[in-house]
Amino acid sequence: MTRVGLYLDLRIPPGVRGADVYARTLDRVADAERRGLEAAWVTEHHGFADGYLPAPLTAAAAIAARTRTMRIGTGVVIAPMLPVETLAEQAAVVDLVSGGRLELGVGAGWRAEEFVRVGADHRARYTTLEDQLRRLPGLWVDGTVTPAPVQDPLPTWVGARGPRGARLAGRVGAGLLWLDPALLAPYAEGLDAGGWPREQGRLGGLVNVLLADDPVAAKEEVRAAARRNRASYRGNDDAAAAPGDATFPRLRVLTGDDAVAAVREQVAGLQGFPVTDVFCFADLGGLPADLVDRHLELVTDVLRPGLAAPVSVGGTP
């Protein structure tokens, strides 16, 4: 069964207090759990004017304290910007606070200026990431880093939008946190190269849908927030480092039933590995509260059960 989750970047729109954004988001996540949602995922960037979340494991700990059952994922921690020991400590604390609910997603990052801020080596980021993932379990086992997480092994993911990252995910036996059929072959190659059985592989990632009763009317509200978000990437984008990587799949504003069909179609195109997790943005930053709240209701009450329902021979639930 595929878990459905929310994706949180905690952008702070103009004229809104950051503390209010964080408080309202935590309330919404807790309410979504009460309504049956299975996961929440947090992301990371640094230096954005709108306060794009810079501390995903801190936010994950806050979510853990407000919830009891949902999985809590990072999509992703930019791991090469941290010492591996720091990553191990922070991840273990979140897993302990949550009672063993962390899904640790890490990535190589792409914005060179973020690495410069902390004196990390941007060019070596893929090599560093792979070394970190290979070392993490041993740091807990031999007591180099304490305390150890609840889960053993701790579920790990690699967020990758290209074949290099997909092969890396496979080599270390991690899940691949990006839903792209073009990455399945390199991911499988990586699993083989790392000596992992194909059954070790799993997929998860963003399904970029916003649910509304009236998608046409909702699109008018969405456009301004979407433009601000795109502009924030352009204003912070190191295009030479990763051309095109600042873009997500096109956001689709859909009814609940249409979203079920669209996500089912997207997942059906990913053959060979189980898709264990999908998530969509909880908010774009600055959307009207009633639009966001209704979106979340439809995610929990329509999208989640719709994806869980068996598909008939004709292709419909």
pLDDT tens, position by position, 198-210: 999 999 999 999 9
Mean pLDDT of 147-167: 97
Cβ-contact 279, 41 below 8 angstroms = yes
Q: Which residues lie below 8 Å from residue 86, measured CB to CB, with a gap of 6+? A: none
User: Would you place residue 234 in the very low, low, confident or very high pLDDT band (cuts 50, 70, 90)?
Assistant: low
pLDDT band at 235 (very low <50, low <70, confident <90, very high): low
Model confidence at 242: pLDDT above 60:
no
Strands (E), 79-211: 102-107, 156-159, 175-177, 203-206, 209-211
Distance CA(234)–CA(243), nearest Å, equals 11
The percent of residues in the chain predicted with pLDDT above 90, rounded, is 86
pLDDT single digits (tens) 165-183: 999 999 999 999 999 999 9
CB 97 within 8 A of CB 65: yes
Cα of 11 vs its chain's centroid, Å: 15
Residue 247: per-residue pLDDT: 55
CA torsion, ordered 264, 10, 46, 245, to nearest 10 deg: 20
Indicate whether 221 pLDDT > 90: no
pLDDT of 241 higher than 50 = no
In this predicted model, what pLDDT tens digit does every residue of 97-142 receive, in sequence order? 999 999 999 999 999 999 999 999 999 999 999 999 999 999 999 9
Residue 286 has a pLDDT of: 87
pLDDT at 253: 97
What is the spatial distance between Cα 228 and Cα 234, in angstroms, rounded to a whole number?
Answer: 10
CB 253 within 8 A of CB 218: yes
pTM value? 0.93
pLDDT in tens, 243-264: 334 456 789 999 999 999 999 9
Nearest to 203 by CA among 279, 137, 306: 279
- Which residue type does 249 have? P
Tens of pLDDT, residue by residue over 35-48, are 999 999 999 999 99
Compute the chain's Rg from CA coordinates. Answer: 19
Which phi and psi (to 5°) does residue 110 adopt? Answer: -145, -20
CB 158 within 8 A of CB 105: yes
CB crowding 51-84: b at 16 or more within 10 Å, else e: bbbbebbebbbbbbeebeebbbbbbbbbbbbbeb
Of 14, 116, 75, 106, nearest in space to 248 by CA: 75
**Confidence check: pLDDT of 307 > 60:** yes
* Mean pLDDT taken over the chain: 92
Q: Which helix (H) or strand (E) holds 251?
A: none
pLDDT-wise least confident of 56-60, 81-85, 286-290 = 286-290
Q: CA-CA distance, 96 to 106, in Å (whole number)?
A: 19
